[in-house]
Homo-oligomer: A and B are copies of this chain.
Amino acid sequence: MFSIGEFANHGRVSVRMLRHYDAIGLLRPARVDASSGYRYYEASQLSALNRIIALRDLGFGLEQVQSMLDENVSVAQLQGMLRLRRADLEASLVAEAAQLTRVEARLRIIESEGRMPTHEVVIKRLDLIRVVELTDVAASFTPEDIGPVIKPLCAELGQRLAAAAIEPTGRLIAYYEQSPREDDEVVIHAAVPVADGSHAAGGLAIADVPAAEQAATIVHRGSMDQVLPTVDALARWIDVNGYRAVGFPRELYIECPEDEAHWVTELQQPIAPA
């Protein structure tokens, strides 16, 4: 018979742990003194303790450990739990490796630029959005070419929405479709979300902006004339963190007051692992 302290010593666990395992019924002492409450363990219980430690060290929770030690658990169930654990571990390893990549990317940036990045990139999921939209084309994907096309396009969109009495359910979205031709031409979509049952009206097209499992996003503050550095930062981030762009880039117009210098927009780029 061992006292709790001796048993803890042999098992390389804390006394508190043994008390905890007693409390949850995972490992009951062989004997408990009725008057003092002292716990006493038998040497043979070391095997039981070791089984618990071994399973816990595979990453199972104590409740799962308890069920795995149950005599009535089948081999198939044990296999199932181990396979699930394996899958969880594999997912966790991938996630942590990605986190490490991002930490290292940030260390490189801090070394080369001497400060933390000011443009923060965040990965989000984008849901499918039902929109009404107008489209036009621009000669290239630079603010100089986009600006003169998108501004009248948005104004026109606003007028037609009012004329057709359509109530948008969200804010303006622009997305940019690379022309199938080999030149730089892009098709610009100016769109607003509408309720699911909406119909085309007033010369406006109904469309679905597709969902994206992962999109890298960045907030741009200020005039869209100055958007290029933000676009570049987003592109570099995607590259440095081991992703690639897989769909149309989008802009979400979050706040557009009179003074364009105070605009807040979010650039979104669907991505996939490179």
Contacts and interface: CB of A to CB of B under 8 A. Distances in A.
A50 interface: yes
Given A89-B100, A99-B58, A100-B93, A219 B50 contact: yes
Interface in A227-274: 254-255, 264, 266
A96 B92 contact: yes
A96 B122 CA distance: 26
A264 B102 CA distance: 50
A53 B264 CA distance: 18
Give the oligomeric copy count. Answer: 2
The DSSP consensus for interface residues of chain A is: helix
B115 A58 contact: no
B83 A107 contact: yes
B221 A44 contact: yes
Contacts of A107: 79, 82-83, 86
A128 B10 CA distance: 15
A31 interface: no
A155 interface: no
26 contacts: A10-B254, A12-B122, A12-B124, A43-B254, A46-B219, A47-B120, A47-B219, A47-B221, A50-B217, A53-B120, A54-B122, A58-B102, A59-B99, A59-B103, A79-B110, A82-B106, A82-B107, A83-B107, A86-B100, A86-B104, A89-B96, A89-B100, A89-B103, A92-B96, A93-B97, A93-B100
